[in-house]
Amino acid sequence: MLEEFIEWAKSVTKDQMPDLLKTEITIGNESDNRGARLDIDTSSAIARITCWQSGDYEAEILDFESGLQTYAQRGQLRDGVAIPVVFLPFLTSLLVNSKK
């Protein structure tokens, strides 16, 4: 699942993020449960999705000004459930909040 997440994160950063967003993908070192994260910055929020080889993930959005968490999602990626569908609520929330 981790490799699928990394490929999705690359496509999001390359093709789907508006120019006003800064994105960065960080891939962890080899381990028993290797992880990767996608960091996204807007003018009003910072956001991160972290995914591990096990399929577990965490996604959160923090309001830049207040530091308060405005979105949180945790779960496990599963075969047969498309990654874009899993993270659509996250991306929608981020894009809506970045226009404020």
Q: How far apart are CA 34 and CA 28, in angstroms?
A: 6
The pLDDT of residue 15 is: 66
Q: How far apart are CA 32 and CA 54, in angstroms?
A: 9
The pLDDT of residue 99 is: 61
The pLDDT of residue 71 is: 95
**Residue 57 belongs to domain spanning:** 2-98
Domain count of the fold of the chain:
1
Model pTM score? 0.88
pLDDT beneath 70: ranges in the chain = 14-20, 98-100
Q: How far apart are CA 17 and CA 32, in angstroms?
A: 31
The pLDDT of residue 38 is: 95
The pLDDT of residue 65 is: 87
The pLDDT of residue 82 is: 94
Nearest to 1 by CA among 90, 88, 79, 61: 79
The pLDDT of residue 37 is: 96
